[in-house]
Amino acid sequence: MKLILSCLLLSVVFLHLASCYQQCTVPLSALQCGDNQQPATHPSYNQNAIPGKRGAPGIKGEKGETGNIHDVRANFTRNAARLDRVEERLNQVEELCNKTRMELLEQQLADRNQLRSCQDVPTKLHHRRNGLYTIQPDDSVRPFTVDCSFQGSSVITSIGHDAEDETEVTTCEAHRCHRHEIHYNIGFPQMRALIELIGNCRQFIKYRCHDSMLFRGEYAGWLSWDGEMQIYWGGANQQPNSCACGVAGNCADSAYKCNCDANDRVEREDSGYLTYEDHLPVHTLYFGDTGGSSEYGFYTLGKLECMG
């Protein structure tokens, strides 16, 4: 009986304490905190009252779910893969930077050793060996390869083409019916840059004929680099319708200024160097008067040569 009364008494006390707790509890929104402010209190709160006893501990919450080891491993694998990709990209960037740095260094070294002509070989490369070299006479043109020949104190820069071997004129009778456009190893802008830098350039030309005329009747001619028709031959010093024998006054027929213009049935030759630099190099060659049974002609055009 005493035990029951004691339980009832404890229940009444517990309910009374719960009621007091509800009356003394202040909502969170009612709290106002400032630099010198005190928290707001319930109207029935007595600051001089003795604090009540600590309430009973709350019910322990449920235990959370155990983590999945497979998910942890998957996340680790994904992050590791991302790190590998970042590292790979950094390596690529570093490799590119190193390559660019090396290219710049090589370009700077090439600029210091860049040859303007064969004349630069002894001073920049410190030797005089014959052979092929890359030169750049002017910054406006791309570098190109030439043949450098060192003969005593002189230096010869040569550029080849497809008509250096003796070539037979096709059988044709009309004026300038045979046409041969010369294909050089490099372009005309590069060759003109070389000529303008060095000067003293020339090109050998020869016609071996049998009963075939050159300028008598204007059967032959050639185009300068800029496409202008020229009617003089090597060694003629630009004299129209002339060859070297016409300047020297010793042609086969004194009535004409080229040996081949004698047009007799004897094999003859007209040859010499073209030296007027404004016309060099030769662009195209023209021939004719080879249609008869006794008529033939062979021509040769030498390399463009510039002496220093």
pLDDT digits (tens, 9 = 90+) for 124-144: 888 889 999 999 999 999 999
Q: Quick one: pLDDT at residue 33?
A: 39
Place 64 in a pLDDT band, splitting at 50, 70 and 90: low
Q: Quick one: pLDDT at residue 285?
A: 98
pLDDT at 295 over 80: yes
Contact predicate 159/303, CB 8 Å: yes
Separation between Cα atoms, residue 217 and residue 212, nearest integer Å: 11
Q: CB-based burial of residue 54 (10 Å sphere; 0-12 exposed, 13-18 middle, 19+ buried)?
A: exposed
pLDDT digits (tens, 9 = 90+) for 149-198: 998 888 999 999 998 999 999 999 999 999 999 999 999 999 999 999 99
Residue 133's DSSP bridge partners are 146
pLDDT digits (tens, 9 = 90+) for 18-50: 443 344 344 434 434 344 444 445 555 555 667
Place 113 in a pLDDT band, splitting at 50, 70 and 90: low
| Angle formed at CA 303 by CA 176 and CA 232, multiple of 5 degrees | 40
pLDDT digits (tens, 9 = 90+) for 84-99: 888 788 788 787 877 7
Token representation of residue 263: 């047009």
